Amino acid sequence: MRKQLFCISLIAVFVIGEAKTFDKCSLAKALLAQGFNKADLPNWVCLVQNESAMSTNKKNNNRNGSTDWGLFQINDRYWCDPQDKKKKSSNDCKIKCSALLTDNITVPSTCAKKIYKRHGFTAWYGWINHCKNKKLPDLSKCF
């Protein structure tokens, strides 16, 4: 029994070890480094807080059978390839969904900017429900 618990714990460390959870300032700085507009950072930070709790390995299975992936909770019905033959995807970002579950946020950021360019922040329910016309995070002490 102890060996089983140890193995499970060890597996959890490896799986969880891949994840990064940002705080608002480290996220704002990382997004700025990825080329996000500084004026829009409060909206992006609010969006990420409410979509993924700022965790890079967040996955959410939706009632419609699709899955949201990573920091920006990018949906596999439209934006990435889930590598599941049963699921159809437009894969508009031309990436594997697993590439969205990484500490290196370059690929997720590029895809999120593509989504934003096409739909604005309204592509994300986390932003609509928690950020739109609401007080946004104060990032003034981050820079």
Q: Which of 68, 81, 84, 138 is catalytic?
A: 68
First to last CA, the chain: 50
Q: Report the SS3 class of residue 127.
A: helix
How many Cβ atoms sit within 10 Å of the Cβ of residue 79? 25
- Burial of residue 70 (CB within 10 Å: 0-12, 13-18, 19+) is buried
Active-site residue, from 18, 23, 40, 51: 51
68 is catalytic: yes
Catalytic residue numbers read 51, 68
